[in-house]
Structure 1
């Protein structure tokens, strides 16, 4: 039976549709088959319409993973040439995916005892759980406070990479290795760090910096994978450019800017919300989480600076995690080598060219998808292929590495960031059976570090990943390059921090 929100969505193809948003505005672009569109509840639809009708917004895209978010749906793209919006970035600034490819054949980790040894080696280096940092694990990577201030301002600069022992070539495998301030400089960000230290935004910057190289809680994870490249000529050629190795072990990571990003985001929400109240400015859809600032205003500049600080921390968090993962594998398999395949965000606003004019593209639970020949990829290793797209599904269905097709122009060169939730956390905890969840992991021969796998993170809490991928392919947005099959998962049962 159809969801009643489906009556508002008008199909334009097998996996494309539009959602009218009212008079005088173009509709929301919807990506998803009928089965996927039926997963969008009333709140998700209302948030998409509110986002499209918000001041200065020119485009909104609702992706197959769309569900309730912070102001705007998670799984949406929101474009504005004139305004910046914190909600469609969210409280975990630059939550991202990264993939480390190892030169280790899959059969090397077939033995469950070997995987248990690897789990211990990883968990001794990378903390999980809200608020936990390097001091909470045996071999955590501690960061000097002065280096920490520099990385907030400079991101993965040559000096920062050298100070942290990160291979400098890894910076070139990042969607954005560094972010700059509103004026295009890192000086503005260094000044912003001083400002936040003076007013106490971070409470204890030194302690918060020790969260670098950590996963946090909620839906964040580390996952040991086996790479299975699609059996066609294009996929094999693209996989070669990406540095993927068929039948070898890889490691997929999902996390963001941790406590620093959360502090910065909440500071911005509180500041903007107080100004909206003081100046009696109408809120889009009467939603306090859809506050905004005009580009070029003091408020807009301050948000861009704070978002950039959080984004730079997230970048280094991922690079340090991948360094720690490589060291963990080398402890068990001396001499093993690993290279970063890619690092890509799904909670960020970036200035891009949309329909021949500059605009800020907000991706909330959405991933950039530039195809071969896109002007932004000129001079990069991905100029002739498109860049890697890392899409987590769930441990049992697998995850995917994709590459954008020309049709991605329909979605403002974006795709979904994963499967997307179909059950809220409380609903999942009420509805799902712990014993069945844990047995399902055992049946799939997937090990975890959890005594009990978190019920609100169980595969059944997420949408059908195959149908999500089918939507992306049928809409002409991207093609699959490889599937990643999980062998073990690093999770935490703490409440979500993103």
Structure 2
């Protein structure tokens, strides 16, 4: 990528489309920036702000930079199961997982109730109850309009669609990992869209000219900012719990299909990659928005997935200050979903996902591995940001 003012990029050897570069220029020129914009190697065009960027702001947040899938992220756990203990066909395992975890627009028939599943289940239930209580106090509810409360709670522990997934992977030692990717579901989308609208209205009232209306921000000290931050933090907690509930159900599905207890080790990672939080950088407290980026402080574990036919990585952060202690959140798309459907066919999908138990139909063609950047090139470009701890290769993938 050509050098830009107020930009630090880790994109050597990685293709970056012109439209994404223009979005980065727009962000880098905003008056609320509290430093340079950090660009990750998986960067690509997004709504308002590029996916794969870390944006520091002073006393303000850009809701569209956080995005509408607030708290979207990854969860992974290393099990005590070895790959040679898996059955030759994983079709039954996949169907059992799909029955346990609703995908796409589906949701639970009734609110999840994990209390009868031991200490972990009771802890999850207690956290759900805390979310209920906090939700009823959210100030942003006044601008969200009518909500289907039952839908909000029945979507806890569901996958969603798009690039969300559940995978069984083998690491370099043949050990089985469970890995999944999801966020705050429809309620996070509703909060995000409301906040984007609030920011646009605030910019209009203030007469602020913007290169893109989706770069409008909310200023600290205003009622709108306070409402958004409260709802943002709630949605991030909802997303993290959503992933843990799914992980809980996947582990139970493995137990049911394999006929034995599948224990998890203590190595569990649960990280956001669409979120905002206050952090200390270069001696100042600033808002850090990671839009498609993962926190990678020194020693911190994170997850960088490839695609449904390539490798993924468990990484340990190096705490690079220029990257605001961040790394990429995946391989990053190299083409739009529409372009992928035009360029590839089902034969290509079957070829690129050979050896993986997964859907191979037109409904997931836009998620074909060829639509993503090369994960090894992306990893090489961020060698200054993370060290690889484990290399994972999926053997089963459930797509939304």
TM-score, reference length from structure 2: 0.92
| 1:28 and 2:3 are equivalent in the alignment | no
Among 213, 235, 240, the alignment partner of 1:288 is 213
| 1:410-463 C-alpha deviation (Å, 9 max, x unpaired) | 211001100000011111111112212113323xx1111454561211000000
The Cα shift of 1:40 comes to 1.2
Give the direction of change, closer, same or farther, for the CA distance of 1:292–1:324 in structure 2 (3 Å limit): same
| 1:324 and 2:249 are equivalent in the alignment | yes
Give the direction of change, closer, same or farther, for the CA distance of 1:436–1:189 in structure 2 (3 Å limit): closer
Aligned 8 A contact 2:63 2:199 in 1: no
Paired with 2:395 and 2:303, the residues of 1 have a C-alpha distance of 18
Give the direction of change, closer, same or farther, for the CA distance of 1:414–1:325 in structure 2 (3 Å limit): same
| 1:134 and 2:134 are equivalent in the alignment | no
Paired with 2:389 and 2:231, the residues of 1 have a C-alpha distance of 35
| 1:5-34 C-alpha deviation (Å, 9 max, x unpaired) | x4xx1xxxxxxxxx323xxxxx2001021x
Aligned 8 A contact 2:280 2:286 in 1: yes
| 1:237-281 C-alpha deviation (Å, 9 max, x unpaired) | xxxxxxxxx421111100100001001111111222123223422
Aligned 8 A contact 1:188 1:305 in 2: no
| 1:68-113 C-alpha deviation (Å, 9 max, x unpaired) | 012110000000132111122101001000002221111112501x
Local SS of the residue matching 1:447: coil
Aligned 8 A contact 2:202 2:218 in 1: no
Paired with 2:106 and 2:391, the residues of 1 have a C-alpha distance of 31
Local SS of the residue matching 1:270: helix
| 1:336 and 2:262 are equivalent in the alignment | yes
Residue 47 of structure 1 is matched in structure 2 by 23
Aligned 8 A contact 2:111 2:150 in 1: no
Give the direction of change, closer, same or farther, for the CA distance of 1:349–1:71 in structure 2 (3 Å limit): same
Paired with 2:264 and 2:123, the residues of 1 have a C-alpha distance of 11
Residue 218 of structure 1 is matched in structure 2 by 162
Local SS of the residue matching 1:455: helix
Residue 295 of structure 2 is matched in structure 1 by 368
Local SS of the residue matching 2:162: coil
Give the direction of change, closer, same or farther, for the CA distance of 1:199–1:423 in structure 2 (3 Å limit): closer
Local SS of the residue matching 1:393: coil
Give the direction of change, closer, same or farther, for the CA distance of 1:163–1:262 in structure 2 (3 Å limit): farther
Alignment of 1:43-442 (within 5 A): 43-57=19-33, 58-112=35-89, 115-129=90-104, 131-135=105-109, 142-143=111-112, 167=120, 190-192=136-138, 196=141, 201=145, 203-228=147-172, 246-283=173-210, 285=211, 287-333=212-258, 334-339=260-265, 341-371=268-298, 386-406=299-319, 408-442=320-354
Paired with 1:482 and 1:346, the residues of 2 have a C-alpha distance of 19
Residue 488 of structure 1 is matched in structure 2 by 396
TM-score, reference length from structure 1: 0.74
Give the direction of change, closer, same or farther, for the CA distance of 1:393–1:122 in structure 2 (3 Å limit): same
The Cα shift of 1:309 comes to 2.0
The Cα shift of 1:312 comes to 1.6
Aligned 8 A contact 1:166 1:320 in 2: no
The Cα shift of 1:338 comes to 2.0
Local SS of the residue matching 2:341: helix
- Output the aligned Cα RMSD: 2.5
Local SS of the residue matching 1:87: helix
Which runs of no fewer than 5 residues in structure 1 stay unpaired? 1-5, 10-18, 22-26, 136-140, 145-160, 172-176, 229-245, 372-385, 493-498
Local SS of the residue matching 2:171: strand
Aligned 8 A contact 2:112 2:154 in 1: yes
